[in-house]
Structure 1
Amino acid sequence: MNRKETFCEHCKKDVLYTEKYQSISAELKGEAYNYNGKVAICDECNNEVFVNEINDYNLEQLYNEFRKQHNIISLEKIIEIPEKYNIGKRPLSLLLGWGEQTFSRYYDGDMPTKQYSEILQKIYDEPDFFLSILESNKDRLKSQSAYEKSKLSTQMLIGTKMTSDTAKVDVVVSYLIRKCEDITPLALQKLLYYVQGFYYAFVNQFIFEENCEAWVHGPVYRDIYFKYKEYRFDPINVLEAADDQNLTVSEKAIIDSVIKHLSCYSGKVLEAFTHAETPWLATRGDLPASVSTNRKIEKKLIADYFTAVKEKNNMINPSDIGVYSKKMFEQTFIM
């Protein structure tokens, strides 16, 4: 819980307040919606106080719930589209045959119509669809370079999508989602990281090729993040297809041990673990805690760290991962 200062109408002075999450009901366009919002509670009189930032947050959550109920593309996905396809907001509007400012309005929070929402959702989901629009309407763009940059990025996305269907990282992710109960995107990222590290410690090679990055909330595998980003703080509830045949006995043994000894902790606890470990710390360097970065955590850092962990804790088999998880919890939250 965060404690900040605001004016309390009951105490008639500036006070510290505590943010709390709670279920909120509100109306929008004549319909009632329930969403997970925040309230600010005065630390002195225990009454609710008004805070602009919290009000803005609740409005955003209300509109997000409206979008979900009416199958309108989320604002987060709209914001990701220009970055995903390496194209500006105005060129994108022109490409789609819309007014120059139309996409910018949606990017800034305006609600798209159902028809435009469906187009944007399909663009977000299907790089092939966007590429067909780009090729068909490239004459609408004001510069050849805008077309070429976007085409290159889109082709790279399509290539990544084609190869990722059978990538080992996807197999591991599917296995984790099916075996873990109520796994959030944050917890998934951390468990994936620990699978990679402990697999190397026991087998002396990595289980998959993908690199992770030293994000604010710990190690993150970028493609996996975007795949499940829409779940935010909620458990991932998609039913991943079984793919156990693509995992060896030793791979399953190590993944199962990671699940047993680390999935019992929340994503935030696992985040705290990684914040105390060398690979994330060394990659972040002197960056402030809240500053974003896409610095890759070198695989050698992961290999050296988890090999040292195995040796230091006399870990003989994967079941000994529990020794490390218990020790990390005690060091992080008890000492």
Structure 2
Amino acid sequence: MSERKDFCIECRKECYYSLRKQYVKKLIKDKEYTFEITEAFCEECGMKMDVHGLMDKNIKEIDEQYRKIEGIVSIEDIEKVINIYKIGKAPLSIALGFGEITITRYLMGQVPSKEYSDVIKKVLASPKYMMDKLEENKDKIAETAYKKAYEAAKEMRDLFSVSKKMLNVISYIFEKMEEITPLALQKILYFIQGFNLAIYGKEMVKEECKAWEHGPVFREVYDIFKDFKYNPIEDDRFVIFENTESELDINEKEIIDLVINTFGVYSAKTLERITHSETPWIEARLGYDDGIPSNVLISKNSMKDYFKRIDEKYNIETEDGVRKYIKKILEK
């Protein structure tokens, strides 16, 4: 029985109730929509109940579904624009060519027109477009707000210094893992690259990996996330690459899932320890004592050859095989 209780007008007393998803039809601007909402039902008489707070939840559910159906930007994404570009509500409104309080209204729940929604979505997807809008309306915005937002847009644009494939892979990792630190991300990317080279004979990403003191590192990725240091990455900027799974083929996603489901359960320091036990990093670090910086590349051929040997011994195309390999490494 549910632990939830409220007053049932049919039973005329406090009753336990359960929540169920129900479909309702709504007419909006002369167009009929079907929405899935949450409703409460008395566990004694089975009748629908008016539960406190449920109406607000239904309004939110309908709003989110309506926006998705019509391709209208969400409140959450508008907030991300503000956070990503470090700009206030009024300056953002002006920069986009809207009225000064337009963004404030949208954040309070007013649904944007499709035209204005498309502008906001384009800003979220393109730092260059945001820079153009800021430049276009520069004279209408306070200088401090303009400079801060323009610099943030430039930083966003610099994300594209890595390949689109690398960004898609990182975005997919973020989607699959609850949290990840920069150090752990580097190791996960390294294993993804190595496994893809061994299993499919080709690179996953074009970027080169270097043998740094704390293990394999993709320098361009390091530069993007270095400010997070040893903390989990929480980066709204990667909303740009949400829903880009179609740009990764089924084999690529299987490799990423394989690595996340096995190596992804370990701490960053454990992953570092694993890479320090592997031939590609060891050979690239020959001649360098502990603590000595190095920018020597870990060649893709050495990664491919090493993980092919591991595959022949442990069958790393399966999660069980990868786990056996990890266990053997950690027992050393």
Q: Which amino acid aligns with 1:88?
A: G
Are the structure 2 counterparts of residues 304 and 108 from structure 1 closer, same or farther at C-alpha, using a change threshold of 3 Å? farther
- Rounded to whole Å, the distance in 2 between the matches of 1:90 and 1:34 is 35
Deviates more, 1:125-134 or 1:111-120: 111-120
- Pick one of 191, 195, 207 that aligns with 1:199: 191
* 1:126 corresponding residue in structure 2: 126
- Rounded to whole Å, the distance in 1 between the matches of 2:10 and 2:73 is 41
CA deviations on 1:141-199 (whole Å, 9 max, x unpaired) are: 2x3221111111111001113424242x634767x9xxxxxxxx85x336998992993
Are the structure 2 counterparts of residues 10 and 72 from structure 1 closer, same or farther at C-alpha, using a change threshold of 3 Å? same
* 2:103 corresponding residue in structure 1: 103
* 1:226 corresponding residue in structure 2: 239
* 2:269 corresponding residue in structure 1: 300
- Rounded to whole Å, the distance in 2 between the matches of 1:5 and 1:305 is 52
Structure 2 counterpart SS, 1:151: helix
Contact 2:67 2:73 in 1 (8 A): yes
Q: Which amino acid aligns with 1:318?
A: I
* 2:27 corresponding residue in structure 1: 27
State the 1:224 CA deviation: 8.5
CA deviations on 1:90-147 (whole Å, 9 max, x unpaired) are: 1112223433211100121101123222222222221111111112212212x32211
* 1:239 corresponding residue in structure 2: 246
Are the structure 2 counterparts of residues 84 and 225 from structure 1 closer, same or farther at C-alpha, using a change threshold of 3 Å? closer
Structure 2 counterpart SS, 1:318: coil
TM score, norm. by length of structure 1: 0.59
* 2:168 corresponding residue in structure 1: 170
State the 1:67 CA deviation: 2.6
Contact 2:124 2:240 in 1 (8 A): no
* 2:316 corresponding residue in structure 1: 318
CA deviations on 1:201-242 (whole Å, 9 max, x unpaired) are: x99956865779x9xxxx87746862465xxxxxx6852255
Are the structure 2 counterparts of residues 304 and 320 from structure 1 closer, same or farther at C-alpha, using a change threshold of 3 Å? farther
- Rounded to whole Å, the distance in 1 between the matches of 2:258 and 2:65 is 37
State the 1:86 CA deviation: 0.7
* 1:269 corresponding residue in structure 2: none
Q: Which amino acid aligns with 2:76?
A: E
Which structure 1 segments of 5+ residues have no match?
177-184, 230-235, 264-273, 280-298, 308-314, 326-335
Which structure 2 segments of 5+ residues have no match?
196-213, 277-312, 324-332
Structure 2 counterpart SS, 1:51: coil
CA deviations on 1:279-310 (whole Å, 9 max, x unpaired) are: 4xxxxxxxxxxxxxxxxxxx326546999xxx
* 2:144 corresponding residue in structure 1: 145
* 1:282 corresponding residue in structure 2: none
The yes-or-no answer on 1:116 pairing with 2:116 is yes
Are the structure 2 counterparts of residues 253 and 226 from structure 1 closer, same or farther at C-alpha, using a change threshold of 3 Å? closer
Structure 2 counterpart SS, 1:239: helix
State the 1:43 CA deviation: 3.5
Q: Which amino acid aligns with 1:86?
A: K
Q: Which amino acid aligns with 1:149?
A: K
Contact 1:171 1:243 in 2 (8 A): no
Q: Which amino acid aligns with 1:148?
A: K
Contact 2:191 2:259 in 1 (8 A): no
* 1:157 corresponding residue in structure 2: 156
- Rounded to whole Å, the distance in 2 between the matches of 1:164 and 1:243 is 19
- Rounded to whole Å, the distance in 2 between the matches of 1:56 and 1:135 is 40
The yes-or-no answer on 1:4 pairing with 2:17 is no
TM score, norm. by length of structure 2: 0.59
- Rounded to whole Å, the distance in 2 between the matches of 1:131 and 1:102 is 20
- Rounded to whole Å, the distance in 2 between the matches of 1:132 and 1:317 is 51
Q: Which amino acid aligns with 2:188?
A: Q
- Rounded to whole Å, the distance in 2 between the matches of 1:305 and 1:14 is 58
- Rounded to whole Å, the distance in 2 between the matches of 1:304 and 1:191 is 20
- Rounded to whole Å, the distance in 2 between the matches of 1:172 and 1:90 is 33
* 2:309 corresponding residue in structure 1: none
